[in-house]
Amino acid sequence: MQTFSVKAFGTEAPETDLEQMIIDRREVTAKDVEIDILFCGVCHSDLHTARNEWHGTIYPNVPGHEIVGRITKVGDSVNKFKIGDLAAVGCMVDSCRECEQCKHGSEQYCENGNIQTYNGHDVHLNKQTFGGYSERIVVDEDFVLRVPENLDLAATAPLLCAGVTTWSPLKHWKIGSGHKVGIVGIGGLGHMGVKLAKAMGAHVVVITTSPSKVEDAKRLGADEVILSTDKEQMRANYNTLHFILDCVSAQHDVNAYLRLLKVDGTLALVGAPEHPLPIAAFSLIPARKNFAGSTIGSIKETQEMLDFCGEHNITADIELINIQDINTAYERLLKGDVKYRFVIDMTSLKN
């Protein structure tokens, strides 16, 4: 298979900083598009993978799965895009397309494992996939999204992971007007959860441990904020919420949040704490509550989310950085020192 070289930023080992490197991309095949990457969001998964914290990282590793750019080449059978179009790529670049989940459009739950944008298995080149911290990427058009023209492009990048990861559960549990929705944790995911749930018509209640986030939660669209460290505030809100989106990736007591749910309410995890979370049986049994989880979203859902964000003018709150600042950004990310997503201006890699 024909390949070409592009500049990228990645790491050769878990303990080394990210640095500039050269990687190969395949030349477009019939169904592929080539995208000149303009912006790439920085997801916490990037850091976990670069540092092998989830194990199984194949080196060299080039992270990045919140990609927006412009189409520079299209294969002979491509019909969704033409050269010059805006385009986006999220967490997946392919899936088996044959299993029950793929057949009904839930590629994120592909029974054979979807192909992740980075650290997945590239079936064309028979090696690891490389992500968006690079000049260009080549992807099958079926896994490429259209980007609304009216949105700020840099602030659109985080929609591809943080946006759809919160959109998918909100849609799956049919959140809309008349619902009281709790969002736990205001970070990259949580801040998108607030904006999307609000735009869907829900009454949004942010639940946070930090008094410093109260004002910002309201600015993002929260109707109410509960300080989870205040027992009285928590007690006053027992049995009031229809749904909770739990965006916290640190260890935390989910039983405290389950008490806030009404009968038949659901708490869905989208954050991924490292260790198991203990659940008391009586947090669920007396009110038939559901403890659930959800990951990213399908290609169809991702497109619906982008179109919805275009209509409602929703993007992420971002801090734009140069690729050369990525290692500092990772350190700040670990401290929660970002409001609320770093996005890399990829022209900094070209210069």
Q: Which residue has the tokens 């799956």?
A: 172
DSSP assignment string, 284-296 = HGGGT-EEEE--S
Least distance CB 191 / Zn ion (angstroms): 14
Could you please report the per-residue DSSP string of 8-44? EEEBSSTTSPPEEEEEEEEPP-TTEEEEEEEEEEE-H
Q: Which is nearer to Zn ion, 161 or 305 (CB)?
A: 161
- Burial class of residue 281, CB neighbours in 10 A (0-12, 13-18, 19+): exposed
Which C-beta is closer to Zn ion: that of 43 or that of 306? 43
Please answer whether residues 239 and 233 qualify as being in contact, where contact means their C-beta atoms are separated by less than 8 angstroms. Answer: no
What is the full DSSP assignment across 179-196?
-EEEEE--SHHHHHHHHH
Q: Of the two residues 35 and 241, which places its CB atom closer to Zn ion in the complex?
A: 35
Q: How far apart are the first and last CA of the chain?
A: 29
- Which residue's CB is nearer to Zn ion, number 43 or number 151? 43
Q: How far is the CB of 158 from Zn ion (least distance, A)?
A: 9
Nearer to Zn ion, 45 or 249 (CB): 45
| Minimum distance of Zn ion from residue 166's CB (angstroms) | 11
Shortest Å distance, C-beta 97 to Zn ion: 6
Q: How far is the CB of 46 from Zn ion (least distance, A)?
A: 7
Interface with Zn ion by CB under 5 A: which residues?
Answer: 43, 45, 95-96, 99, 102, 110, 112, 161
Cβ 71 vs Cβ 87: under 8 Å: yes
